[in-house]
Structure 1
């Protein structure tokens, strides 16, 4: 499905970074793991801020476009094709992990988030924006499967080894290409890995 979506010559979610990420990029330190990176807009943005970024996505087509976008912007990013439902990030490696609209079924998300928390170095930042369960009846973006949408309290529970810096469910205008456009209900979350 994602290879098909990304086969469009246009960047279907645009080439500008997610605005929540852009507002908080100064909190991030490398190396950064960017989950569900797609066509590269967020990885390229972070690389343009001097961060070493690894973008992971299940779509080879999306990652090829990510490499092209990086080249066009004169930055270098690393990419890895992997199914996030079975992906295992290396332990205690990343200064930050970013998840922007990286929706998985609930059990797969919990599994990945446990591994993501483990993959952060002490002091590392986890930053997430996802569509909330209240998004289900809107046609402004996100999966039409309630199990793939999130609640703020679920994300908080999944990062017990982190200090929560920001956790909120809000409505905001999301303008990101043709598939994320309009008023949306989102969860925004930032946490810092505690020292052992």
Structure 2
């Protein structure tokens, strides 16, 4: 997967655009400033937006090419972000460090997914917020009709509401949607897509 993402992010353009994800932007603007984590942050569009709003930003991704473009974008916008390269167990984040975690199209390998979600619970402060948007399992069929919408080809990397409710058991879900939307995010997220999105608060 590292090689795949390094190759994709080595393209000269920002392949998912420079603008933040619309759902993330809308929901971030509703919560109080603090410290936020961006797992699988890629080229940095969401992290840079948060930094511009005044958040203290940490991010990580397995792709060095993604990090390089994220730091270039941050520099062009006059903000700083702490962006590390590696997998979550390699990071030095502290228990209950973050006021918010943004999981925006953060699709992890099946072997990592559940352990990552358990650790995200630990990293989030009580009362902290998760903002989530990613492809649902229905995206496998949507991809066949609209390959430009993107997403993993492996159904085990996609999400169901039941899985997410289990992973974040005990959280208060402010909203929880499983729906078809129109994506317009750079080169690889375009057209009709099946997503799950939610905002949830840690007890």
Q: How far did 1:20 drift?
A: 0.6
Say whether 1:151 aligns with 2:155: no
Deviation at 1:192, TM superposition (A): 0.6
Question: Residue in 2 aligned with 1:23?
Answer: 26
Question: Superposition RMSD on alpha carbons, in Å?
Answer: 1.3
Cα distance in 1 between the residues matched to 2:176 and 2:167: 13
Question: Do the aligned partners of 2:62 and 2:86 also contact (CA within 8 Å) in 1?
Answer: yes
Residue from 158, 178, 201 that aligns with 1:192? 201
- Written as runs of structure 1 = structure 2, the 5 A alignment for 1:1-196 is 1-26=4-29, 27=31, 29-84=33-88, 86-87=89-90, 89-137=93-141, 138=143, 139=147, 140-194=149-203
TM-score using structure 1 length: 0.94
Deviations 1:102-158 (A, max 9, x none): 111334211101100111011110111110000002121100110001011211110
**Number of equivalenced pairs:** 193
Cα distance, 1:28 vs structure 2: 5.2
Contact 1:28 1:125 in 2 (8 A): no
Structure showing the higher helix proportion among its residues: 2
Normalization by structure 2: what TM-score? Answer: 0.91
Structure 1 residues 14 and 28: alpha-carbon distance in aligned structure 2, compared to 1, 3 A threshold: farther
Q: What displacement does 1:30 show?
A: 2.1
Q: Is the 8 A contact 1:128 1:188 kept in 2?
A: yes
Deviations 1:24-61 (A, max 9, x none): 11225321000111011000011111101111111111
Distance (whole Å) between structure 1 residues aligned to residue 120 and residue 65 of structure 2: 24
Q: Any gaps of 5 or more consecutive residues in structure 2?
A: none
Structure-2 separation of matches of 1:59 and 1:94? 23
**Alignment gaps of 5+ in structure 1:** none
